Amino acid sequence: MTDHIRLLPCSAAAEGGKPAYLITDRHGGTVSRIADVTESVQLEMGERLLVHARGMLPSAPDGELRYLAVRLAESLQEVLRVAESRGERLSPLD
């Protein structure tokens, strides 16, 4: 059994927002399954936020644009973390 390090889709709040990792095997476990669900939710929320943003951008007041920009930045950060985590878990090409 080979252990793998997996970047989790959330940061370690107790460590000041540093990345949180899980040591697991290829089969995963309970925490891996929870991380998979969390990643799916984060991606879906990002997709919904993007659709919402596209609809409101042409006529949104400045305050709403700032709020939207903050939410989009948060979503982008989550999506990039998911991409990094999934990229690290890909098998090298032969």
49-94 residue pLDDT tens:
999 998 988 888 989 999 999 999 999 988 988 888 887 776 565 4
Band (pLDDT 50/70/90 cuts) for residue 24 is confident
Are the C-beta atoms of 22 and 8 separated by less than 8 Å?
yes
How far is the CA of 68 from the CAs of 20, 52, 90, in angstroms?
Answer: 27, 9, 33
Residue 12's contacts (CB-CB under 8 Å, 6 or more residues apart) are 18, 19, 20
Percentage of the chain beyond pLDDT 70 is 87
Query: How far is the first Cα of the chain from the last one, in angstroms, to the nearest whole number?
Result: 21
The enclosing H or E element of 64 equals helix 62-89
pTM of the model: 0.73
